[in-house]
Structure 1
Amino acid sequence: MSAQNSAGIQTLLDAEREASKIVQKSREYRTKRVREARDEAKKEIEAYRANKEAEYKEFEAQHTQGNKAAEEEASKEADVKIDEIQAAGKKGQDKIIKDLLAAVFEAHPTPVS
């Protein structure tokens, strides 16, 4: 009976070792699969990010071209207006200076009632 118990215990120990090996392999496989899934997810995220970045740059390029054209046009119009104002100022500058100097030096005081 003792030999039979010893053989039964040995069989149980062998089964436990085998089960432990199976569990260990399962854990290793699961860990490996989790790492692979994480790496795949990172690759997908990077691809998605690169795609969206490219779409954004394309969108930005399309919409800033119109803004640049409008900005250049407004800048040209502003330059023309500034030139007109400066020309008008120079045109009447001599007369204005003479009038100002005359008003200062040739004062005609009048009494206030």
Structure 2
Amino acid sequence: MSAQNSAGIQTLLDAEREASKIVQKAREYRTKRVREARDEAKKEVDAYRKKKEEEFKKFEAEHTQGNKQAEDEANREADAKIEEIQAAGKKSQSKVVDDLLKAVLEVKPVPPSAA
């Protein structure tokens, strides 16, 4: 009976070892599959991000073109105004300097008025 029990126990131990090997292989397979899925998902996310970045750049290029034209037009208008102001300043520059010098050098005292 003891030999039979010993053989049964040995069979159970062998079955347990075999089950442990199967579980270990399943864990390894699952771990491998999880890694593969993660890598695949990362590739998909990278491809999606690249696609969306390209779409954004295209959208930005199309819509900033109008802004660029408006900016150039505003710069031309500003340059024209600056030239106009500079021309007006040069035109009356000597008169302004003369008036300032005259106001500083010719003192005309005025008595205070009684209020």
TM-score bracket for this pair, using the shorter chain length: 0.7 to 0.9
Normalization by structure 2: what TM-score? 0.83
Q: Percent same amino acid among aligned pairs?
A: 77
Deviations 1:61-99 (A, max 9, x none): 222222221111111111100100111111122223333
Q: Distance in 2 between matches of 1:103 and 1:86?
A: 24
Deviation at 1:24, TM superposition (A): 1.1
1:2 matches 2:2: yes
Q: Distance in 2 between matches of 1:18 and 1:64?
A: 68
* Corresponding residue of 1:13: 13
Deviation at 1:112, TM superposition (A): 4.0
* Corresponding residue of 1:77: 77
Q: Distance in 2 between matches of 1:44 and 1:96?
A: 72
How many residue pairs are counted as aligned between the two chains?
Answer: 113
Q: Compared with structure 1, are the counterparts of its residues 15 and 105 closer, same or farther at alpha carbon in structure 2 (3 Å cutoff)?
A: closer
Q: Compared with structure 1, are the counterparts of its residues 104 and 24 closer, same or farther at alpha carbon in structure 2 (3 Å cutoff)?
A: closer
Q: Distance in 2 between matches of 1:7 and 1:105?
A: 129
- Note the 1:1-113 alignment, pairs <5 A: 1-113=1-113
Q: CA RMSD in A?
A: 1.8
Deviation at 1:50, TM superposition (A): 1.1
Normalization by structure 1: what TM-score? 0.84
Q: Compared with structure 1, are the counterparts of its residues 6 and 103 closer, same or farther at alpha carbon in structure 2 (3 Å cutoff)?
A: closer
Q: Distance in 1 between matches of 2:74 and 2:60?
A: 21
Counterpart of 2:13, as a letter, is L
Q: Which runs of 5+ in 2 are unaligned?
A: none
Q: Which runs of 5+ in 1 are unaligned?
A: none
Counterpart of 2:57, as a letter, is K
